[in-house]
Amino acid sequence: MTITSMGFGIFLAVLSSLSCARSCTFTITNNCPHPVWPGTLAGAGTPPLPTTGFRLESGQSVRIPSTPGWSGRIWARTGCSFDPSGIGKCETGDCGGRLECDGNGATPPASLFEITVGSGEEKDFYDVSIVDGYNLPLLVVPRGVYGPCNATGCASDLNLGCPKELQVVLGGDGGQQGQGGVVACKSACEAFGLDQYCCSGQFSNPNTCHPSIYSTIFKHACPRAYSYAYDDGTSTFTCKAYDYEIVFCPSVNGTKKASNETIATPHIEEPSSGELIHLVSSSNILLPFPLAIIFILINLLS
């Protein structure tokens, strides 16, 4: 049984249109030795994800569907405590003192994954940013529709080498992360509020705003992450992906950057103790194209 060239072209066009109609999912994994509370924030003009904040235990993974054209941020909060109504606070990355962020962004410092999902055949644009400071190691590995895409992130623990003047230090026992009390590392902009660090005022363009000694430290440790406002050239990536694996604390179980500036793909277990969040209609969830329909199309076009 053969398929005519015209029929085969129609067949591929059908598959392509179905592929382009799909949206991607975000697989969020907590590889840290303590719980984290991921938060999500939708950009202007795009709907919120099915959840805007939740608790994720150590070793858990959760898949969250997006919609075509979605843009926004995903990050992890640490050291959180909430009452049964979802009111409380977090040591880092807090979003208005609520379990569900509900339109509130992360309080700096926080490591951020930022993305604009392409609609149709448009590519996704994504990055990991520590422009607003850093609280946790973060690795993002996209799985491309048409082949491999670039991984990005900041797998180094910047809290260990954070300059004293940028440190966020907890009293008492030093918090859950236990790194000598340092639970996050501020940006120079947040720490000092100067235009030259914030790329504002007379420094509000790429010709006058240059890397500072502090952003250079961050960039050296995490060469693929945004370190200051105009760090576009080495920090923004494109892909057409069906899934983005977002791993917090990727190096705990040995995941490291490979040679020549590539990052090894971490092993992600299927969610077991976690749950698949699918609180939106099934049309927004990534679904496989039924194999039986493919065979029917082949028979019709042969």
The pLDDT tens digits of the residues spanning 181-231 come to 899 999 999 999 999 999 999 999 999 999 999 999 999 999 999 999 999
- Quote the pLDDT of residue 233: 86
Q: Is the dihedral of CA 29, 32, 36, 38 positive or negative?
A: negative
- Quote the pLDDT of residue 22: 60
- Quote the pLDDT of residue 251: 78
- Which residues of the chain are under the pLDDT cut of 50? 1-21, 172-180, 253-302
- Quote the pLDDT of residue 76: 98
- Quote the pLDDT of residue 252: 54
Q: Is the dihedral of CA 58, 51, 283, 15 positive or negative?
A: negative
- Quote the pLDDT of residue 134: 98
- Quote the pLDDT of residue 170: 84
The answer to whether 246 touches 61, Cβ cutoff 8 Å, is no
- Quote the pLDDT of residue 255: 42
- Quote the pLDDT of residue 169: 94
- In 121-207, which ranges are E strands? 124-129, 138-144, 152-154, 167-169, 182-185
- Quote the pLDDT of residue 171: 63
Question: pLDDT digits over 20-51, tens only?
Answer: 446 799 999 999 999 999 999 999 999 999 99
- Quote the pLDDT of residue 8: 37
Question: Domains in the chain, ordered, with CATH?
Answer: 25-156+223-252 (2.60.110.10)
